Amino acid sequence: MRRRLLVWLLSSVLLGGFAAAAIVFYQARMQSTEFFDYQLRQLALTLRDRDYSVRELAQALRGQQDLDFVIQVWGPDGRLLYGSHPEIEVPAPEGTGFSDAVTASGNWRVFAIWHRGLTIQVAQHKLAREALALGAALRTLLPFVLVLPLLGFLIWRLVGREVRFLETTARAVAKRSPESLEPISDEAVPDEIRPLVASLNDLLARLGAALSQQRQFIADAAHELRTPLTALRLQLQLAQRARDDDERQKALATLGEGITRATHVVEQLLAMARQDPAAQSAEHKPVDLSGVVAEVVEAERPVAQQKGLNLALDSRPMADITGDRVALRAMVENLIDNAIRYTPSGSVSVRTYVEGTQAVLEVEDTGPGIPAAERERVFDRFYRGADAAAGGSGLGLSIVRRIAERHGGQVELAEGAGGQGLLARVRIPLSPS
């Protein structure tokens, strides 16, 4: 940055110098044209007024070869009677007054005047004039060129001083390990850079929050996996110690249950990870929520029957919602699965209907319910109610809430009919028609 600034600033200064020189050059040339034209004319008029004969003129000008004017006298018949510099050819004038002539020896400015049948022509090489203008221009440019190194030095130092805090900030950022996400100090940072530091700090803060959330999740997940793993290990040891086939069969059966439970926990963890805002990739498409609910109810029916529960579905046709079908199915599964899992006897009723612009899904059971004080906490990851039955991962409702919120909806828990059991209600906005 320092080098770039230096190059740009010096180039600008130099460019300015050249521009000034060019202007001076043109102005000087214009002035010198006027001045030299006047001189040329005066010379010609003087020669006319002296009324020299050709010979006298030649005599008067002898030895004056270094004059930077070429004086010629032409006869009426167009013959050259006299030339101060015979080696230089300037064509005969086509008329009187000023004109420009291009010859082999360069560009000439010419002034011609009539005098008693003769044409007196005075010519001056244009180079002489331009040399003057050029000289003026160079003199203008010179100071620029001379101060350039000094300017460069000053710019280098000044920019360096102003950029130093940027370097310290950059070093502060570079020194940061992925673990240390404290904000960067914005003291002694100029106003122009402050927004950058502020947004960097903002990013760091969000990164830190996301990171600690992830860490917490991993820690919780690891902790949560310990329980099923402990059960598996103990169950395996019991199977190994079995003294007869009967004992072994029983031990292996409980081991199988343990594996089913561990699998469930792992699946729930994966479902949870998939619902992380950072991992959202699924396309949102129109989904028939009541159709998804009907599918899940049919899939869960054998489980309910095995427990002797009555699983009822009351589904009203409804417009589509916009969403991720797989996630929505996971949400419905979790709700119905929970209801069946925690209801020892009685029934689980599933209802879908439309209220205003929202699709509503209700799952009501006749289980123990959740005390009002705990209803908010059960949405926390890995939270299990005080009287929660075994086998839950503590993630189900957390997953449900996440999916509902991703679809712009909400989840609420209430008492079931007659103050008994649990009623879970999900509202998700219908697609605008």
Partner 1 sequence: MRLLLVEDDSMIGAAAQQGLRQEGHTVDWVRDGKEAEVAVTDKVHDVVLLDLGLPRRDGLSLLREWRAKGIGIPVVIITARDAVTDRIAGLDAGADDYLVKPFDLDELSARVRAVTRRRAGRSASVMKIGALEIDAATKRVKWKGEEVALSAREYALLEALADRPGAYLTRTQLEERLYGWNEEIASNAVEVHIHGLRRKLASELIKNVRGLGYTLDPLPGPLPREREK
CA atoms within 13 A on the CB side of 128: 16
Q: How far is CA 279 from the centre of its chain?
A: 22
Positive or negative, the Cα torsion across 177, 178, 180, 182? Answer: positive
Cβ at position 348, least distance to partner 1 in Å: 22
Residue 263 or 310 with smaller CB distance to partner 1: 263
Tokens of 195: 């927004």
Binding to partner 1 by CB under 8 A, coded x per residue (else -) over 168-207, reads ----------------------------------------
Q: Return d(Cα 38, Cα 285) in angstroms, integer.
A: 89
Alpha-carbon distance 113 to 59, whole Å?
21
- Measured from the CB atom, is 379 or 383 closer to partner 1? 383
Tokens of 178: 């992925």
Residue 179 beta carbon to partner 1: minimum distance, rounded to whole angstroms: 18
Could you say whether residue 140 binds partner 1 (CB under 8 A)?
no
Q: How would you classify the pairing of strands 347-355 and 358-365? A: antiparallel
Q: Which is nearer to partner 1, 174 or 390 (CB)?
A: 390
Q: Residue 127 carries which side chain, given as an amino acid letter?
A: L
User: Closest CB to partner 1 among 17 and 385?
Assistant: 385
Residue with tokens 């031990």: 251
126, 99 Cβ separation under 8 angstroms: no
Among 31, 227, 315, 431, binds partner 1 (CB under 8 A): 227
What is the total count of residues that contact partner 1 (CB under 8 A)?
25
**Contact by Cβ (8 Å): 29, 37:** no
Query: How buried is residue 259: exposed, middle or buried, by Cβ count under 10 Å (0-12/13-18/19+)?
Result: middle
- Start-end of H helices in 176-193: none
CB contact at 8 A, 318 and 353: yes
In the complex, minimum distance from the CB of residue 254 to partner 1, in angstroms, rounded to a whole number: 7
Q: Quick one: 209 or 389, whose CB is closer to partner 1?
A: 389
Q: Is 252 in the site for partner 1 (CB under 8 A)?
A: no
CA torsion, ordered 423, 429, 430, 433, to nearest 10 deg = 160
- Both tokens of residue 42? 């005066």
Are 367 and 421 spatial neighbours (Cβ–Cβ below 8 Å)? yes
Piece in contact with partner 1 (CB under 8 A), picked from 3-11, 170-178, 237-245, 328-336: 237-245
Q: Does the footprint of partner 1 cover residue 228 (CB under 8 A)?
A: yes
Of 12, 199, 214, 237, the residue at the interface with partner 1 (CB under 8 A) is 237
Minimum distance of partner 1 from residue 245's CB (angstroms): 16
**Residues 361-390 as x/- pattern, contact with partner 1 by CB under 8 A:** -----------------------xxxxx-x
Segment lying near partner 1 (by CB under 8 A), choices 121-129, 150-158, 233-241, 398-406: 233-241
Least separation in angstroms between residue 181's CB and partner 1 is 22
Out of 206, 233, 285, 316, the only residue in the binding site for partner 1 (CB under 8 A) is 233
Q: Closest distance between partner 1 and the C-beta of residue 388, in Å?
A: 7
Q: Are 106 and 95 in contact (CB under 8 A)?
A: no
**Nearer Cβ to partner 1 (325/384):** 384
Q: For residue 115, list its beta bridge partners.
A: 118
CB of 275 to partner 1, least distance (A): 24
Question: Footprint of partner 1 on residues 385-424 (CB under 8 A)?
Answer: 385-388, 390-391
Residues that bind partner 1 (CB under 8 A): 223, 226-235, 237-238, 241, 254, 257-258, 261, 384-388, 390-391
